[in-house]
Structure 1
Amino acid sequence: MLRTVLARAAVVAGVAAVATLALAGPASAHVTVNPDSATQGGYTKIAFRVPNEKDTANTSAVEVNLPTDTPIASVSTRPLPGWTATTVKTKLATPIKDDDGGEITEAVSKITWKADATSAIKPGQFQEFEVSLGPLPKTDQVVFKALQTYSDGDIVRWIDVPAAGQDEPEHPAPVLKLTAGTGDEHGAAAASTAPAAAASDEKDDSGTNWLGFAGVLLGLAGLVAGLLAYRRAASPAA
């Protein structure tokens, strides 16, 4: 009887662990943009978060493509030790206006980061590539198609555009959601950039903490259930 009770408790705890892993697993699987939302017409700082998903190769290069149909006039990269960033500009079919009323005829369409011999993203690690950009277009979202190159020559193309109401594609592109602004985005963006990035990290951390807490609760529930069943089995019949 005792063996049966303990086996049941182990099954409950095992189910709890599997459920926790199923919830936590997909969260860190893709190339993402953080924060994942900003304001139309404003300026913001974002970070492309790139995890290494291989056990036997390093990530040696990351390429991010910016749309030219909704171009962004100002794009700058933040220096990252061990990585070299290069940008490519494309001539625009339709020029856009800058903040001073002048015309911009070309915009950054691609950013490529390449690692030196010691700075590649190793298995079990991730890296963030920060970019400042704006003014953001007046559209619902900006899709950044990305290519992740591994040291073994494999290239993972994060270029599938997620569609509303459909399952997430296998290799979704990073997407920045845009919301309508209040008309004072230029001044407010500089003050809110750092808090927005921090809030994104706090959101990610809180999500991870929640999953860990849920796993602990489920495990404790399995243990309590096993102990109660053992006490009932061990108590003499009335």
Structure 2
Amino acid sequence: MNRTRVAACSVVTFATAAAALALAAPAQAHVSVDPAEAEQGGYTTIDVRVPNESDTASTVSLELHLDPEFPLASVRPQAVPGWEVEVETAELETPIENHGNQITEAPSVVRWTGGEIEPGMFQQFPLSLGPLPEDTEHLVLRAVQTYDDGEVARWIEPPAEDGTEPEQDPAPVLHLTPAAGAEDVAAAEDGADGDGTNGDGGESAAASHGDGDDAATDTTARVLAGVGIAVGVAGVAFGVLAGRRRTTPPTAS
């Protein structure tokens, strides 16, 4: 390959890489949460990650709007040097319970002000949340980011039903998964309500047959094990005799 072809290939490769980076950058340069996954019904601590997208202005305010459809009894921000934080609450149309107490109002907005995220920088705001809802797979946390030049970025668009992130103005999302052991418990309950038991709670014929099959399988396994041991002993004995035949010197005639 001559120098002209090498140079041409280099230009094409560089252009392709630059285009890929240009396409990937907007998808990452928005407000997000880390970690992005937590267990349903539990508590978690997340970092609200806020990158500054402007080349000339600084971020001076962030509002995180909690989903009113899934109210959280506890929302506790961690102090961040240089920033002031406040948590607004709102009355609930339907009260919720937390540790035996009825909750009639819950946090609705968390607001950070007074600090500054300069161009090319980012800031993380720790936040404790819980208990997390058990009847949804996505907790949408809409964010409003304000710059010192008056520009406002609204990260408020929820994901699609399959969890796909929207192309424009995606909202931070905390993906919720079943708690450890929850799927096993559900499977066990489904089995108990299925064909495994009769209406009186006793074992069904299928279960009885299953016990018989287990016993037959156990007997067969023992027989095969005995046969295997016998064959092994015979093999060892044969090997010893064969060795003696090879090592015994011939007698003089």
TM norm structure 1: 0.70
- Given that 1:55 and 1:123 are in contact with CA atoms closer than 8 Å, whether structure 2 keeps it comes out as yes
Shift of 1:2: 4.3
2:133 is equivalent to residue 137 of structure 1: yes
Q: Give distance in 2, aligned partners of 1:170 and 1:78.
A: 30
Shift of 1:28: 2.9
Q: One-letter code of the match for 1:132?
A: S
Alignment correspondent of 1:162: 159
Q: One-letter code of the match for 1:137?
A: P
- Give runs of aligned pairs for residues 1-150 of structure 1, distance below 5 A: 2-15=2-15, 17-18=17-18, 21-22=21-22, 24-99=24-99, 101-115=100-114, 119-138=115-134, 139-150=136-147
Q: One-letter code of the match for 2:113?
A: K
TM norm structure 2: 0.66
- Given that 1:85 and 1:113 are in contact with CA atoms closer than 8 Å, whether structure 2 keeps it comes out as yes
Q: Which runs of 4+ in 1 moved over 6 A?
A: none
- Given that 1:56 and 1:123 are in contact with CA atoms closer than 8 Å, whether structure 2 keeps it comes out as yes
Alignment correspondent of 1:223: none
Shift of 1:12: 4.1
Q: Give distance in 1, aligned partners of 2:13 and 2:82.
A: 44
- Aligned-residue Cα RMSD (Å) equals 2.1
- Given that 2:31 and 2:48 are in contact with CA atoms closer than 8 Å, whether structure 1 keeps it comes out as yes
Q: Give distance in 2, aligned partners of 1:58 and 1:65.
A: 21
Does the residue aligned with 2:117 lie in a helix, a strand or coil?
coil
> Which string of whole-angstrom CA distances, capped at 9 and with x for unpartnered residues, describes residues 21-69 of structure 1?
2465235311101111101100000111110000110000000011122
- Give runs of aligned pairs for residues 169-180 of structure 1, distance below 5 A: 169-180=167-178
> Which string of whole-angstrom CA distances, capped at 9 and with x for unpartnered residues, describes residues 80-105 of structure 1?
00000011101111111112x11011
Does the residue aligned with 1:26 lie in a helix, a strand or coil?
helix
> Which string of whole-angstrom CA distances, capped at 9 and with x for unpartnered residues, describes residues 197-217 of structure 1?
xxxxxxxxxxxxxxxxxxxxx
Q: One-letter code of the match for 2:158?
A: V
Q: Give distance in 2, aligned partners of 1:110 and 1:35.
A: 20
Alignment correspondent of 2:199: none
Q: One-letter code of the match for 1:154?
A: E
Q: Where does structure 1 lack aligned partners over 5 or more consecutive residues?
A: 185-238
Shift of 1:164: 3.9
Q: Which has the larger radius of gyration?
A: 2
Q: One-letter code of the match for 2:30?
A: H
- Given that 2:158 and 2:165 are in contact with CA atoms closer than 8 Å, whether structure 1 keeps it comes out as no
Q: Give distance in 2, aligned partners of 1:30 and 1:78.
A: 21
Q: Give distance in 2, aligned partners of 1:129 and 1:34.
A: 10
By relative contact order (CA 8 Å, sep 6+), the higher-ranking structure is 1
Q: Where does structure 2 lack aligned partners over 5 or more consecutive residues?
A: 183-253
- Given that 2:94 and 2:104 are in contact with CA atoms closer than 8 Å, whether structure 1 keeps it comes out as yes
